[in-house]
Amino acid sequence: MTQTVLALGRRERKQAETRRRLIEAARDQISEGGVESITITSITERADVAQGTFYNYFESRDAVIDALIFESVERLGQRLDALTAGMSDAAHIYSFSLRHLMNTALSDPAWGWVMIRLGIAHETLLQTLGPRAARDLQIGVDSGRFSIPDVSLAAAMTFGALLSAMHEYLGGTDRDAPSTHYAEYLLRMAGIPAHEAHEIVRLPLPALPEIADA
C-alpha cells in the first residue's frame, strides 16, 4: 500500500512538472514572438517533451494559452481581490490594484510582454481583467468617490492604458516610479482631484496575500 501511494505521488508530481513546463514554454514563446508564433511544435520543443505528451494535458494551442492566462493573470487577479476585499475607499482599491499590475510587469518582464502581446484582442484576457476594473470603478461611482459617466468605457480605458504603459516602460523608457504615475493619471480620470490622487498613489503599497491553489 505504501509503495503504491509513493508511486502515485511521484507520478502526480511528474505530471504537474510536465504541465508547468508546457505552460512556461507557451509563456516564453508569446513573450518573444507574440500569440501568432505559438504552435504545438514550438511549445513542445521549448518544454523538451514529445508532441504526443502535449495532448495528455491540453486539447489545443488555445487551451494552453487559456491555462497560461489563468496561471499568470487570473491568480494575480485573485490575490488583488483578496488584498482589497476589506477596503472601503474605492480610490485606494483602484490605486493599489493598478500599482500591483504595473509592478508585476516591471519585476517580471516576460509576464509583462505576455500581457502586451496577448493584448485587447484576446477574449480570455479581457474576461479576466475587464470585469475587475469595471467592478472597482463601479464601487467608486456607487460610493460617490468617482465621477464617471460610462463605467464600461472607463474600464476599457483602464485596460488599454495598462497595456500601453507596460509597453512604454518595458520598451526601454527610463522613468522613475512608473506604477505611481500610471495610477495617478487613472485616478484623475476617475474624478479624483490632482492633489489627492498624488497623495493616494504614494501610500505604502500593501503586499499581495498568498492564496491557496484551487
pLDDT digits (tens, 9 = 90+) for 91-140: 999 999 999 999 998 888 888 888 888 876 677 777 888 889 999 999 99
Which region among 104-113, 149-158, 183-192, 198-207 has the lowest average model confidence (pLDDT)? Answer: 104-113
Confirm whether 207 is domain-assigned: no
**Domain count within the chain:** 2
**72 and 54, same structural domain?**
no
212 domain residue, yes or no: no
Do 145 and 174 lie in one domain? The reply is yes
Place of cell 504552435: 39
118 and 193 together in one domain: yes
Does residue 170 sit within a domain? Answer: yes
Q: Are residues 51 and 70 in the same domain?
A: no
Cell of 73: 493573470
Phi, psi of 86 (to 5 degrees): -95, 5
One domain, residues 192 and 123: yes
State residue 5's pLDDT score: 45
3-class DSSP string for the chain: CHHHHHHHHHHHHHHHHHHHHHHHHHHHHHHHHCHHHCCHHHHHHHHCCCHHHHCCCCCCHHHHHHHHHHHHHHHHHHHHHHHHCCCCCHHHHHHHHHHHHHHHHHHCHHHHHHHHHHHHHCHHHHHHHHHHHHHHHHHHHHHCCCCCCCHHHHHHHHHHHHHHHHHHHHCCCCCCCHHHHHHHHHHHHCCCCHHHHHHHCCCCCCCCCCCCCC
Where in the sequence is the domain holding 16, given as residue range(s)?
2-62
Shared-domain flag, residues 143 and 88: yes
Q: What is the pTM of this model?
A: 0.82
Same domain, 83 and 10: no
Domain boundary among the residues 18, 46, 62 is at 62
